[in-house]
């Protein structure tokens, strides 16, 4: 099948979702090994899957319990959004004769990268909105979400933040491997934006 502009939009969408997923998992694993995260609080999540907190709040100054609640909210949010995306695309693929069994694990992302599928107008519109400047998977929100996740795990500890940044770097590498090649511009822009947020954090603590 030929790759068209609709497919390209969805591929860009999937690339940013994958890089965010692996970066967040990498940060979480590093934090677990260092026992940086406390037991999550029992705060009930909001009815919408968005990790909501005031932009005036300094995450590094939160209490341990508030940071743990934020980590849980961010992880739940990410998992919900990932489930929605993979479900949407799996249904699209199945309509084109591609079985769910052939899309297990990284095979899903490699197939996404191949472009051997078509998408309908509704799927294209959802993807375009998601990766727009202010979209959930756009560069601004995605980079901030990755940094917030790392900051919530690390607290106001510079050395732990360095470990979080190393985990984020590993996450982007893993995303490239899962994708089966170099990640394109939207992921590169997100990577750069995350790096700037870490640089700003270190500068404020120098």
Q: What is the pLDDT of residues 140-172, one digit of tens each?
A: 999 999 998 899 888 889 999 999 999 999 999
Which token pair is 38?
A: 């406390």
pLDDT class of 45 with cuts at 50, 70, 90: very low
Q: How many CA atoms lie within 13 A of 79 on its CB side?
A: 7
Whole-prediction pTM: 0.74
pLDDT at position 35 is: 45
In this predicted structure, the answer to whether residue 61 has a pLDDT above a threshold of 70 is yes
For residue 36, pLDDT beyond 50: no
More confident residue, 18 or 78: 78
Which of 18-27, 51-60, 67-76 holds the top average pLDDT?
67-76
The continuous run of DSSP H or E covering 65 comes out as helix 64-95
Average pLDDT over residues 133-140: 90
Q: How far apart are CA 17 and CA 43, in angstroms?
A: 26
Residue-wise pLDDT tens digits, 169-195:
999 988 888 888 777 788 899 999 999
Mean residue pLDDT across the chain? 78
Structural contact between residues 13 and 109, judged by C-beta atoms closer than 8 angstroms: no
Give the pLDDT score at 56.
Answer: 53
**DSSP character at residue 11:** H
In the chain, domain spans: 5-204
Evaluate if residue 28 carries a pLDDT over 70: no
């Amino acid at each position: 099948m030929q790759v068209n502009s609709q497919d390209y939009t969805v591929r860009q969408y999937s690339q940013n979702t994958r890089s965010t997923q692996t970066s967040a998992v990498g940060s979480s694993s590093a934090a677990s090994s260092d026992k940086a995260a406390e037991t999550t609080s029992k705060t009930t999540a909001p009815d919408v899957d968005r990790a909501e907190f005031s932009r005036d709040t300094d995450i590094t100054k939160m209490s341990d319990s508030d940071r743990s609640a934020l980590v849980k909210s961010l992880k739940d949010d990410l998992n919900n959004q990932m489930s929605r995306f993979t479900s949407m695309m799996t249904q699209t693929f199945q309509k084109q004769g591609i079985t769910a069994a052939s899309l297990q694990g990284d095979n899903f992302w490699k197939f996404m990268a191949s472009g051997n599928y078509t998408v309908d107008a509704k799927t294209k519109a959802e993807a375009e909105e998601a990766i727009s400047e202010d979209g959930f998977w756009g560069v601004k929100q995605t980079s901030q979400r990755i940094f917030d996740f790392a900051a919530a795990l690390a607290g106001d500890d510079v050395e732990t933040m360095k470990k979080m940044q190393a985990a984020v770097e590993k996450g982007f590498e893993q995303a490239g491997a899962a994708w089966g090649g170099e990640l394109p511009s939207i992921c590169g822009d997100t990577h750069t934006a995350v790096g700037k947020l870490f640089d700003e954090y270190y500068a404020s603590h120098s």
